[in-house]
Copies of this chain bind each other. A is one copy, B any other.
Amino acid sequence: MMRSGIQSSILVGVLGALFACSSKSAPTGGGGTSSSLTDLMKARNLSEADVNAALKTYTPSGRMDEYLAFSSGGHSGQVIVIGLPSMRILKYIAVFTPEPWQGFGFDDASKAVLAGGKRFGHDLTWADTHHPALSETAGDYDGQYLFIGDKANARIAVIDLKDFETKQIVTSELIGGDHGAAFVTPNTDYIVETTQYPVPLGGGYADPAKEFKAKYRGAAVFWKFDRAAGRIDPAASFAVEFPPYTQDLADAGKLVSDGYAFFNSINTELAWGGNQEGNPPMESSYSKNDMDYLHVVDWKKAEALVKAGKTETINGMKVIRLEVAAAEGVLTFVPEPKSPHGVDVTPDGQDIVVGGKLDTHGTVFSFAKIKAQIDAKKFESKDPYGVPVLSFKDSIRGQVELGLGPLHTVFDGQGNAYTSLFLETVVAKWSLKDLKVTDKLPTHYNIGHLTAAEGDTVSPDGKYLIAMNKWALDRFHKVGPLLPQNFQLVDISAPKMQLLYDMPLPLGEPHYVQIIKADKLKPIDVYTPGEDPMTGKKAEFAVEAGKERVERKADGVHVYMTAIRSHFTPDIIRVKQGETVKLHVDNLEQAYDATHGFAINSYNVNISIEPGEHNDVTFVADKAGVFPMYCTEFCSALHLEMAGYLLVEPK
């Protein structure tokens, strides 16, 4: 839709023409004067560049956005859906944190999804969502599923983009937390999750002061995705054990490098903390070594080893042990400069770009060079755990001088790379061919990740980039000591980058984002009548119009209820104190947007029932009394009348 190359510098010319002209010309229509545009610019203190940016982002009433961005919600535990270029938030998707508007964590089915994420018997009501990953087919986003990792608790969630709802949460107690998660292999065979902070695998106890090197480990879990079922299959999943280096970000190979995955690491120093036990603070002990290790994993070989039974099962997860991975060529190391952070495979799959956050360079590794050494078993050394180490200089294509604090790199598909420089607080644009910086754009402030349209695929779109800035400071009106983050939308369609828009993030500290062309998404409008959204099938307890009823069974009082504008049937529920109530509620509507809510006073019952949807809610009516129940979603002019009572007769 938008043409490239319309830069503010050009608009200066346009406005120059307007101003020059307006002093001579009479108005030509509408009763206005040609100074009105200047009046408006003056009144709102807008520059020509502002006008240009406004017209590139403003999206009139009823007009659709061209791209959708799926953003992690950071430690809100949710996913944020943002339209581009308007930068309007279209939805928060409840993922790991119970959220009442969506009824997530309130009905029986979504409670079961959340229960899938329990660890060591503990309910977890939050997550630190980090990297969202859209499902891919042949290395391109296909718009079907979204996965996201929880750094805090080593969990992966599966969101179905059919209805934008979370369908599954998986976790393995093999590991303690993750960071390089979620990312997908090019056909979404696997969703990969890599540890950050090492622990004794499987949940045991070991004192790091004595046994860090011997007992602590990292791992990459390869979660098998069953696309037909739309679910991860834990039984078909496996892990590869790593040394207790702090593994960091990760990316899958693609095209020529398909079958491989790349993980970087910090802390080859094996620091574990203990700043009140005689050790230096971790941030200094982590940074002693000049080189850490890029982990290269041949996951197709790993898959074959799993099939061959060369695994050990630890706390329910099949693990390729470190010595096997090293001996069988599943795991190889390449030295990488100084506390690297991001690792990003280029769209053609040929290079791997690593940002060494305490280095001023981006290092461009060549997959072909790495592969040639591995195939020739040409190893320079082994690490203390026996993992073969390649030659750094034989593995790189070159380095690009970027500036202070390079973190992550994304691509535009026209041969350009864009790297975030945290300390310098800029986006650096550079040529993949020449390894030279061609432009820098200041960000506000302290950019972490950045993302580009379809940027993680084999065919990036270019066009838009989002700088995900960690500090907002003076960008927005003050809202107390906890500030929003600032996403800055950047036009990358011309040689020079242009800042278009500052967007505050009102809930959560987003970590990473993927941007997909909006027309790839085909969500449903309504559910099939009686559908259980979790199974996609007719629910066991689906209720049809005219068949509303109450049945007392051994497991409780089953209330079969329907909702349609503007009443619930039945609108009175009579139970006896202490009875278990099993509500089955169907929204009979098939009109788009005709959602009903259902809430019961003082009982923490609250569900969202979209058109056609079936919901089940179980609770114990332990307190006697009269409890109003009503529709919480404004549905008609007589919405307030869509109400009734739960009557709990005293024992």
> A123 an interface residue at 8 Å Cβ cutoff?
yes
CB of A527 to closest CB in B, whole Å: 6
Contact B648 A205 (CB under 8 A): yes
The interface residues of chain B lying within 8 Å CB-to-CB of A599 are 75, 128, 152
Chain B residue nearest to A97 (CB atoms) is: B100
A525 close to B478 (CB less than 8 A): yes
Contact call B62/A571, Cβ cutoff below 8 A? no
Say whether A595 contacts B273, CB under 8 Å.
no
Contacting residues, chain B, for A272 (C-beta < 8 A): 572, 645
Chain B residues whose CB sits within 8 angstroms of the CB of A475 once the complex forms: 61-62
A548 nearest CB neighbor, chain B only: B276
C-alpha gap A50/B56 in the complex (Å): 12
On whether the beta carbons of B506 and A92 are closer than 8 Å, the reply is yes
* Bound-complex Cα distance A592 to B119 (A): 36
Report yes or no: A11 in contact with B27, Cβ–Cβ below 8 A.
Answer: no
In contact, B44 and A1 (Cβ under 8 angstroms)? yes
The answer to whether A628 and B17 touch across the interface, beta carbons within 8 angstroms, is no
B282 touches A641 (CB 8 A): yes
* A65 proximal to B (CB < 8 A): yes
Which B residues are in CB contact (< 8 Å) with A593?
471-473, 483
Binds B, one of A132-140, A251-259, A619-627: A619-627
> Which of these binds chain B: A81-89, A304-312, A372-380, A451-459?
A81-89
Interface-located stretch among A386-394, A426-434, A630-638 = A630-638
Q: Given A90-B476, A475-B61: A601 and B177 within 8 A (CB)?
A: yes
State in angstroms the CA–CA spacing of A106 and B597 once bound together: 27
Which residues from B are CB-within-8-Å of A423?
637
- Assess the B644–A282 pair: CB atoms within 8 A: yes
Return chain B residues, CB-CB under 8 Å to A33. 10, 13-14
- The listed residue (B29, B52, B274, B648) touching A572 by CB distance below 8 A is B274
**A618 interface residue per 8 A CB criterion:** no
Asked if A32 is at the interface of the complex by the 8 Å CB criterion, the answer is yes
Question: Do B30 and A20 touch across chains, with their CB atoms under 8 A apart?
Answer: no
Query: How far is A505 from B566 in the complex, measured between Cα atoms in Å?
Result: 24
CB closest chain-B residue, reference A81: B479
Whether B12 lies near A29 (C-beta < 8 A) is yes
Asked if A98 contacts B125 (CB within 8 A), the reply is yes
- Kindly identify, within residues 84 to 122 of chain A, every residue whose CB is under 8 Å from any CB belonging to chain B: 87-92, 97-102, 106, 119-122
Contacts of A91 in B (CB 8 A): 479-480, 482, 484, 504, 506-507
Contacts of A274 in B (CB 8 A): 571-572
Chain B nearest CB, measured from A10 CB (Å): 3
Stretch at the interface among A157-165, A231-239, A395-403, A534-542: A157-165
Distance of A617 Cα from B592 Cα, bound (Å): 45
CB of A429 to closest CB in B, whole Å:
19
Q: In this complex, what residue of B is CB-closest to A423?
A: B637
Given contacts A282-B644, A647-B207, A126 and B45 within 8 Å (CB-CB): no
Complex CA distance for A36 and B272, rounded to whole angstroms: 59
**Cβ-defined contact, B43 with A628, below 8 A:** no
Q: Does A509 contact B (CB under 8 A)?
A: yes
Residue of B nearest to A66 (CB): B477
In the complex, the answer to whether A205 meets B626 with C-beta atoms within 8 Å is: yes
Once A13-B28, A122-B604 are accepted as A-B contacts, the answer to whether A100 and B77 lie under 8 Å apart by CB is yes
Residues of B within 8 A of A162 (CB): 480
Q: How far does the alpha carbon of A216 sit from the alpha carbon of B207 in the complex, in Å? A: 64
A14-B37, A479-B81 known; A357+B637 contact, CB < 8 A: yes
User: Is A214's CB within 8 Å of the partner chain B?
Assistant: no
**Is the C-beta of A518 less than 8 angstroms from some C-beta in chain B?**
yes
**A58 neighbours in B (Cβ, 8 Å):** 46, 50, 53-54, 57-58
Q: A36-B6, A101-B76, A481-B525 are in contact. Are A122 and B43 (CB under 8 A)?
A: no
Question: Is A545 positioned at the interface, with any CB of B under 8 Å from its CB?
Answer: no
A203 proximal to B (CB < 8 A): yes
Residue of B nearest to A199 (CB): B626
Known contacts A13-B30, A592-B473: A119-B597 contact under CB 8 Å: no
- A187 interface residue (CB < 8 Å to B): no
Q: How far is the CB of A513 from chain B (nearest CB, A)?
A: 14
Chain B residues contacting A495 (CB-CB under 8 Å) are none
Residues of the B chain whose Cβ atoms lie less than 8 Å from the Cβ of A643: 197, 273, 282
Extra inter-chain contacts (16) besides given A89-B504, A119-B602, CB under 8 Å: A6-B43, A13-B33, A14-B34, A61-B488, A83-B504, A88-B504, A97-B99, A101-B508, A122-B623, A124-B602, A176-B601, A196-B628, A282-B644, A286-B641, A357-B637, A422-B637
- 10 contacting pairs across A/B (C-beta < 8 A): A2-B44, A13-B28, A73-B101, A91-B484, A203-B625, A205-B647, A273-B643, A282-B642, A405-B637, A509-B633
Q: List the 9 closest pairs (A to B, CB-CB), nearest first.
A: A13-B32, A10-B32, A100-B126, A21-B21, A54-B58, A12-B30, A164-B480, A481-B610, A197-B628
